[in-house]
Structure 1
Amino acid sequence: MSLHKISRSLLLASLALAPTAAFAHPGHDTSGMLSGLLHPLMGWDHLLAMVAVGMLAVMGRSKPAWQLPLAFVGFMLVGAMLGINGVAIALVETGILLSLVVLGGLLAVGRAGYLSVMTLCCALFGMLHGNAHGIELPAGSAASSYISGFIMATIVLHAVGYLLASKCADKWQFLALRVSGVAIAGTGLVAVFSAA
Protein backbone atom coordinates (compact mmCIF):
# COMPACT_ATOMS: atom_id res chain seq x y z
CA MET A 1 0.00 0.00 0.00
CA SER A 2 1.41 3.41 -0.92
CA LEU A 3 2.08 6.14 1.63
CA HIS A 4 -0.59 8.29 -0.05
CA LYS A 5 -3.24 5.58 0.44
CA ILE A 6 -2.18 5.06 4.07
CA SER A 7 -2.35 8.81 4.71
CA ARG A 8 -5.78 9.09 3.13
CA SER A 9 -7.08 6.09 5.09
CA LEU A 10 -5.75 7.53 8.34
CA LEU A 11 -7.41 10.87 7.68
CA LEU A 12 -10.76 9.27 6.79
CA ALA A 13 -10.65 7.01 9.84
CA SER A 14 -9.90 9.99 12.10
CA LEU A 15 -12.77 12.01 10.67
CA ALA A 16 -15.11 9.07 11.14
CA LEU A 17 -14.35 9.27 14.85
CA ALA A 18 -15.75 12.79 15.12
CA PRO A 19 -18.40 13.06 17.84
CA THR A 20 -22.09 13.37 17.32
CA ALA A 21 -22.51 14.86 20.79
CA ALA A 22 -20.75 17.68 22.52
CA PHE A 23 -19.72 15.71 25.59
CA ALA A 24 -17.70 12.55 25.24
CA HIS A 25 -17.31 11.72 28.92
CA PRO A 26 -20.58 11.40 30.83
CA GLY A 27 -22.29 8.04 30.93
CA HIS A 28 -19.32 5.66 30.87
CA ASP A 29 -18.51 3.13 33.57
CA THR A 30 -16.21 4.52 36.26
CA SER A 31 -16.07 1.49 38.53
CA GLY A 32 -12.68 -0.06 38.91
CA MET A 33 -9.35 -0.48 37.21
CA LEU A 34 -10.64 -2.30 34.13
CA SER A 35 -12.95 0.63 33.32
CA GLY A 36 -10.01 3.00 33.77
CA LEU A 37 -7.84 0.89 31.48
CA LEU A 38 -10.50 0.68 28.79
CA HIS A 39 -11.73 4.26 28.66
CA PRO A 40 -8.67 5.82 26.97
CA LEU A 41 -8.76 3.00 24.43
CA MET A 42 -12.47 3.43 23.73
CA GLY A 43 -12.62 7.22 24.07
CA TRP A 44 -11.45 8.53 20.69
CA ASP A 45 -10.54 11.96 22.08
CA HIS A 46 -8.22 10.49 24.70
CA LEU A 47 -6.74 7.95 22.34
CA LEU A 48 -5.80 10.52 19.70
CA ALA A 49 -4.41 13.06 22.20
CA MET A 50 -2.31 10.50 24.03
CA VAL A 51 -0.89 8.96 20.87
CA ALA A 52 -0.08 12.49 19.62
CA VAL A 53 1.93 13.20 22.79
CA GLY A 54 3.98 10.04 22.21
CA MET A 55 4.60 11.09 18.61
CA LEU A 56 5.62 14.60 19.66
CA ALA A 57 8.20 13.09 22.01
CA VAL A 58 10.00 11.64 18.97
CA MET A 59 9.48 14.32 16.34
CA GLY A 60 12.73 15.63 14.90
CA ARG A 61 14.87 14.58 17.85
CA SER A 62 17.91 12.38 18.26
CA LYS A 63 16.78 11.63 21.84
CA PRO A 64 13.12 11.33 22.93
CA ALA A 65 11.61 14.24 24.86
CA TRP A 66 10.31 12.19 27.79
CA GLN A 67 9.20 15.33 29.60
CA LEU A 68 6.17 15.59 27.28
CA PRO A 69 4.47 12.31 28.29
CA LEU A 70 5.62 12.77 31.90
CA ALA A 71 4.04 16.24 32.03
CA PHE A 72 0.81 14.89 30.49
CA VAL A 73 0.52 11.97 32.93
CA GLY A 74 1.59 13.97 35.99
CA PHE A 75 -0.86 16.78 35.39
CA MET A 76 -3.59 14.34 34.37
CA LEU A 77 -3.33 12.97 37.89
CA VAL A 78 -3.46 16.52 39.32
CA GLY A 79 -6.59 17.25 37.24
CA ALA A 80 -8.26 14.04 38.39
CA MET A 81 -7.51 14.84 42.05
CA LEU A 82 -8.95 18.33 41.61
CA GLY A 83 -12.10 16.85 40.08
CA ILE A 84 -12.56 14.25 42.81
CA ASN A 85 -12.35 17.07 45.34
CA GLY A 86 -15.08 19.03 43.56
CA VAL A 87 -12.93 21.45 41.53
CA ALA A 88 -14.21 21.46 37.95
CA ILE A 89 -12.11 23.31 35.37
CA ALA A 90 -14.26 25.62 33.24
CA LEU A 91 -14.88 24.52 29.64
CA VAL A 92 -13.03 21.25 30.20
CA GLU A 93 -14.74 19.44 27.30
CA THR A 94 -13.94 22.23 24.86
CA GLY A 95 -10.36 22.23 26.12
CA ILE A 96 -10.08 18.49 25.50
CA LEU A 97 -11.25 18.92 21.91
CA LEU A 98 -8.85 21.83 21.45
CA SER A 99 -6.04 19.59 22.74
CA LEU A 100 -6.47 17.55 19.56
CA VAL A 101 -6.26 20.67 17.42
CA VAL A 102 -3.12 21.96 19.16
CA LEU A 103 -1.26 18.65 19.54
CA GLY A 104 -2.18 17.59 16.00
CA GLY A 105 -1.25 21.05 14.74
CA LEU A 106 2.20 20.80 16.35
CA LEU A 107 2.73 17.48 14.57
CA ALA A 108 1.37 18.85 11.29
CA VAL A 109 3.70 21.85 11.20
CA GLY A 110 6.65 19.76 12.33
CA ARG A 111 7.69 21.98 15.22
CA ALA A 112 10.29 20.03 17.18
CA GLY A 113 11.58 23.17 18.89
CA TYR A 114 10.07 25.15 21.74
CA LEU A 115 10.23 22.16 24.06
CA SER A 116 9.23 24.22 27.10
CA VAL A 117 6.07 25.45 25.33
CA MET A 118 5.20 21.91 24.21
CA THR A 119 5.77 20.62 27.76
CA LEU A 120 3.44 23.31 29.10
CA CYS A 121 0.79 22.35 26.49
CA CYS A 122 1.07 18.67 27.47
CA ALA A 123 0.72 19.55 31.17
CA LEU A 124 -2.34 21.73 30.53
CA PHE A 125 -4.06 19.18 28.29
CA GLY A 126 -3.22 16.35 30.67
CA MET A 127 -4.88 18.29 33.48
CA LEU A 128 -8.02 18.80 31.38
CA HIS A 129 -8.23 15.13 30.42
CA GLY A 130 -7.79 14.10 34.06
CA ASN A 131 -10.27 16.66 35.40
CA ALA A 132 -13.00 15.49 33.03
CA HIS A 133 -12.92 12.13 34.77
CA GLY A 134 -12.19 13.28 38.28
CA ILE A 135 -15.38 15.36 38.44
CA GLU A 136 -17.52 12.28 37.80
CA LEU A 137 -15.70 9.95 40.20
CA PRO A 138 -16.67 9.39 43.82
CA ALA A 139 -13.81 9.64 46.31
CA GLY A 140 -12.49 6.36 47.67
CA SER A 141 -10.97 3.12 46.50
CA ALA A 142 -13.12 2.86 43.35
CA ALA A 143 -11.77 6.23 42.19
CA SER A 144 -8.18 5.25 43.01
CA SER A 145 -8.54 2.02 41.09
CA TYR A 146 -10.12 3.74 38.07
CA ILE A 147 -7.43 6.42 37.98
CA SER A 148 -4.67 3.80 38.25
CA GLY A 149 -6.11 2.04 35.21
CA PHE A 150 -6.51 5.33 33.35
CA ILE A 151 -2.87 6.26 34.00
CA MET A 152 -1.59 2.85 32.89
CA ALA A 153 -3.57 3.05 29.66
CA THR A 154 -2.30 6.58 29.06
CA ILE A 155 1.31 5.45 29.41
CA VAL A 156 0.66 2.60 26.97
CA LEU A 157 -0.88 5.01 24.43
CA HIS A 158 2.08 7.38 24.76
CA ALA A 159 4.35 4.39 24.09
CA VAL A 160 2.26 3.43 21.04
CA GLY A 161 2.63 6.96 19.64
CA TYR A 162 6.35 6.85 20.35
CA LEU A 163 6.74 3.47 18.61
CA LEU A 164 4.64 4.46 15.61
CA ALA A 165 6.73 7.60 15.10
CA SER A 166 10.12 6.03 15.77
CA LYS A 167 9.56 2.97 13.58
CA CYS A 168 9.01 5.02 10.43
CA ALA A 169 12.02 5.01 8.15
CA ASP A 170 13.91 8.30 8.55
CA LYS A 171 12.97 9.53 5.10
CA TRP A 172 9.26 8.92 5.81
CA GLN A 173 9.11 9.90 9.48
CA PHE A 174 8.63 13.62 8.98
CA LEU A 175 5.87 13.08 6.38
CA ALA A 176 4.12 10.40 8.44
CA LEU A 177 4.10 12.64 11.52
CA ARG A 178 2.75 15.57 9.53
CA VAL A 179 -0.02 13.49 7.98
CA SER A 180 -0.93 12.08 11.41
CA GLY A 181 -0.96 15.61 12.80
CA VAL A 182 -3.30 16.84 10.07
CA ALA A 183 -5.64 13.90 10.75
CA ILE A 184 -5.65 14.50 14.53
CA ALA A 185 -6.06 18.28 14.25
CA GLY A 186 -8.76 17.83 11.59
CA THR A 187 -10.68 15.46 13.84
CA GLY A 188 -10.42 17.98 16.67
CA LEU A 189 -11.70 20.80 14.47
CA VAL A 190 -14.66 18.73 13.27
CA ALA A 191 -15.42 17.86 16.90
CA VAL A 192 -15.24 21.51 18.02
CA PHE A 193 -17.64 22.60 15.27
CA SER A 194 -19.95 19.64 15.95
CA ALA A 195 -20.10 20.61 19.61
CA ALA A 196 -20.87 24.28 18.86
Structure 2
Amino acid sequence: MMRVLLLITLILSTIVSANEYKDKDFWQDIEALKKESQLKEEQNFYESLSRHEAFEKERFAYDVFRFDDNKDSFTFQYIQTWVIFLIVMLLVMSGVYLAYLQFKLDEKKALAQLEIQRLLARNAATEPPPGTSADDGETSLEVSTSGIKITSSVIGLVVLAMSFAFFYMYVLHVYELKITPY
Protein backbone atom coordinates (compact mmCIF):
# COMPACT_ATOMS: atom_id res chain seq x y z
CA MET A 1 0.00 0.00 0.00
CA MET A 2 2.82 2.24 0.71
CA ARG A 3 4.21 1.67 -2.67
CA VAL A 4 0.93 2.61 -4.30
CA LEU A 5 0.82 5.88 -2.40
CA LEU A 6 4.37 6.63 -3.31
CA LEU A 7 3.61 5.95 -6.96
CA ILE A 8 0.52 8.23 -6.91
CA THR A 9 2.50 11.00 -5.28
CA LEU A 10 5.22 10.71 -7.88
CA ILE A 11 2.73 10.80 -10.74
CA LEU A 12 0.91 13.83 -9.30
CA SER A 13 4.08 15.78 -8.69
CA THR A 14 5.14 15.14 -12.28
CA ILE A 15 1.78 16.35 -13.56
CA VAL A 16 1.91 19.45 -11.40
CA SER A 17 5.46 20.32 -12.41
CA ALA A 18 4.53 19.80 -16.06
CA ASN A 19 1.55 22.09 -15.63
CA GLU A 20 3.79 24.62 -13.96
CA TYR A 21 6.02 24.95 -16.96
CA LYS A 22 3.06 24.80 -19.28
CA ASP A 23 1.13 27.58 -17.45
CA LYS A 24 4.06 29.89 -16.91
CA ASP A 25 2.13 32.61 -18.81
CA PHE A 26 -0.79 32.11 -16.43
CA TRP A 27 1.38 32.85 -13.39
CA GLN A 28 2.87 35.87 -15.12
CA ASP A 29 -0.62 37.16 -15.83
CA ILE A 30 -1.52 36.71 -12.16
CA GLU A 31 1.61 38.62 -11.10
CA ALA A 32 0.76 41.38 -13.59
CA LEU A 33 -2.79 41.56 -12.17
CA LYS A 34 -1.38 41.75 -8.65
CA LYS A 35 0.91 44.64 -9.64
CA GLU A 36 -1.96 46.42 -11.42
CA SER A 37 -4.18 45.97 -8.36
CA GLN A 38 -1.46 47.38 -6.10
CA LEU A 39 -1.02 50.35 -8.44
CA LYS A 40 -4.80 51.02 -8.36
CA GLU A 41 -4.81 50.79 -4.56
CA GLU A 42 -1.92 53.25 -4.36
CA GLN A 43 -3.65 55.57 -6.82
CA ASN A 44 -6.91 55.39 -4.81
CA PHE A 45 -4.95 56.06 -1.62
CA TYR A 46 -3.28 59.15 -3.10
CA GLU A 47 -6.61 60.40 -4.51
CA SER A 48 -8.19 59.92 -1.09
CA LEU A 49 -5.28 61.71 0.53
CA SER A 50 -5.62 64.55 -1.97
CA ARG A 51 -9.36 64.87 -1.25
CA HIS A 52 -8.65 64.84 2.48
CA GLU A 53 -6.05 67.60 2.10
CA ALA A 54 -8.50 69.67 0.04
CA PHE A 55 -11.16 69.16 2.72
CA GLU A 56 -8.75 70.20 5.48
CA LYS A 57 -7.78 73.33 3.53
CA GLU A 58 -11.44 74.26 3.08
CA ARG A 59 -12.16 73.62 6.74
CA PHE A 60 -9.20 75.76 7.77
CA ALA A 61 -10.37 78.55 5.43
CA TYR A 62 -13.84 78.35 7.00
CA ASP A 63 -12.35 78.49 10.51
CA VAL A 64 -10.33 81.57 9.55
CA PHE A 65 -13.46 83.19 8.05
CA ARG A 66 -15.49 82.39 11.17
CA PHE A 67 -12.76 83.78 13.43
CA ASP A 68 -12.49 86.99 11.39
CA ASP A 69 -16.28 87.35 11.33
CA ASN A 70 -16.50 86.91 15.10
CA LYS A 71 -13.67 89.41 15.58
CA ASP A 72 -15.44 91.96 13.36
CA SER A 73 -18.73 91.36 15.17
CA PHE A 74 -17.12 91.85 18.58
CA THR A 75 -15.40 95.04 17.39
CA PHE A 76 -18.71 96.42 16.11
CA GLN A 77 -20.48 95.42 19.32
CA TYR A 78 -17.71 97.09 21.34
CA ILE A 79 -18.26 100.36 19.48
CA GLN A 80 -22.04 100.03 19.85
CA THR A 81 -21.66 99.41 23.57
CA TRP A 82 -19.67 102.61 24.02
CA VAL A 83 -22.15 104.65 21.97
CA ILE A 84 -25.10 103.27 23.96
CA PHE A 85 -23.21 103.86 27.21
CA LEU A 86 -22.54 107.49 26.29
CA ILE A 87 -26.20 108.04 25.34
CA VAL A 88 -27.37 106.50 28.61
CA MET A 89 -24.92 108.62 30.59
CA LEU A 90 -26.14 111.72 28.73
CA LEU A 91 -29.75 110.86 29.55
CA VAL A 92 -29.01 110.13 33.21
CA MET A 93 -26.89 113.26 33.64
CA SER A 94 -29.55 115.40 31.95
CA GLY A 95 -32.12 113.88 34.34
CA VAL A 96 -29.90 114.71 37.31
CA TYR A 97 -29.37 118.23 35.94
CA LEU A 98 -33.11 118.71 35.42
CA ALA A 99 -33.70 117.51 38.97
CA TYR A 100 -31.09 120.02 40.17
CA LEU A 101 -32.82 122.82 38.25
CA GLN A 102 -36.16 121.78 39.72
CA PHE A 103 -34.67 121.76 43.22
CA LYS A 104 -33.27 125.26 42.63
CA LEU A 105 -36.65 126.43 41.33
CA ASP A 106 -38.41 124.93 44.34
CA GLU A 107 -35.86 126.61 46.60
CA LYS A 108 -36.57 129.97 44.97
CA LYS A 109 -40.32 129.38 45.30
CA ALA A 110 -39.92 128.42 48.95
CA LEU A 111 -37.80 131.50 49.67
CA ALA A 112 -40.33 133.68 47.85
CA GLN A 113 -43.15 132.05 49.85
CA LEU A 114 -41.28 132.75 53.11
CA GLU A 115 -40.73 136.35 52.06
CA ILE A 116 -44.42 136.70 51.25
CA GLN A 117 -45.37 135.25 54.62
CA ARG A 118 -43.02 137.70 56.39
CA LEU A 119 -44.52 140.60 54.48
CA LEU A 120 -48.00 139.37 55.30
CA ALA A 121 -47.08 139.05 58.94
CA ARG A 122 -45.81 142.65 58.98
CA ASN A 123 -48.75 144.04 57.11
CA ALA A 124 -51.55 141.87 58.44
CA ALA A 125 -54.13 144.32 57.31
CA THR A 126 -52.97 144.50 53.70
CA GLU A 127 -53.85 142.13 50.87
CA PRO A 128 -51.29 139.62 49.53
CA PRO A 129 -49.19 140.79 46.59
CA PRO A 130 -50.39 139.84 43.10
CA GLY A 131 -49.20 136.48 41.71
CA THR A 132 -49.29 134.65 45.06
CA SER A 133 -51.80 131.93 45.63
CA ALA A 134 -52.60 129.51 48.37
CA ASP A 135 -51.83 126.41 46.27
CA ASP A 136 -48.11 127.11 45.59
CA GLY A 137 -46.96 124.29 47.85
CA GLU A 138 -49.60 121.75 46.79
CA THR A 139 -49.10 118.66 44.68
CA SER A 140 -51.43 117.75 41.82
CA LEU A 141 -51.55 114.90 39.35
CA GLU A 142 -53.70 115.16 36.24
CA VAL A 143 -54.12 112.22 33.84
CA SER A 144 -55.96 112.80 30.58
CA THR A 145 -56.01 111.53 27.03
CA SER A 146 -53.46 114.15 26.06
CA GLY A 147 -50.93 112.99 28.67
CA ILE A 148 -49.91 113.15 32.29
CA LYS A 149 -49.39 116.44 34.10
CA ILE A 150 -47.60 116.53 37.45
CA THR A 151 -47.40 119.75 39.40
CA SER A 152 -45.42 119.37 42.56
CA SER A 153 -42.71 120.82 44.66
CA VAL A 154 -41.12 117.35 44.58
CA ILE A 155 -40.99 117.02 40.78
CA GLY A 156 -37.19 117.13 41.03
CA LEU A 157 -37.33 113.96 43.15
CA VAL A 158 -39.56 112.29 40.56
CA VAL A 159 -37.15 113.19 37.73
CA LEU A 160 -34.17 112.05 39.79
CA ALA A 161 -35.88 108.76 40.67
CA MET A 162 -36.78 108.15 37.02
CA SER A 163 -33.17 108.85 35.95
CA PHE A 164 -31.77 106.40 38.49
CA ALA A 165 -34.42 103.80 37.64
CA PHE A 166 -33.49 104.09 33.96
CA PHE A 167 -29.79 103.74 34.79
CA TYR A 168 -30.49 100.73 37.01
CA MET A 169 -32.49 99.01 34.25
CA TYR A 170 -29.70 99.75 31.78
CA VAL A 171 -27.05 98.22 34.03
CA LEU A 172 -29.24 95.24 34.89
CA HIS A 173 -30.52 94.31 31.43
CA VAL A 174 -28.49 96.03 28.70
CA TYR A 175 -24.97 96.26 30.08
CA GLU A 176 -24.95 92.60 31.08
CA LEU A 177 -21.60 91.00 30.25
CA LYS A 178 -21.73 87.60 28.56
CA ILE A 179 -18.71 85.49 27.66
CA THR A 180 -19.16 83.60 24.41
CA PRO A 181 -17.23 80.39 23.79
CA TYR A 182 -15.14 79.99 20.66
Q: What's the TM-score once normalised by structure 1's chain length?
A: 0.22
Specify which structure has the higher proportion of strand. 2
Larger RCO, structures 1/2 (Cα 8 Å, 6+ apart): 1
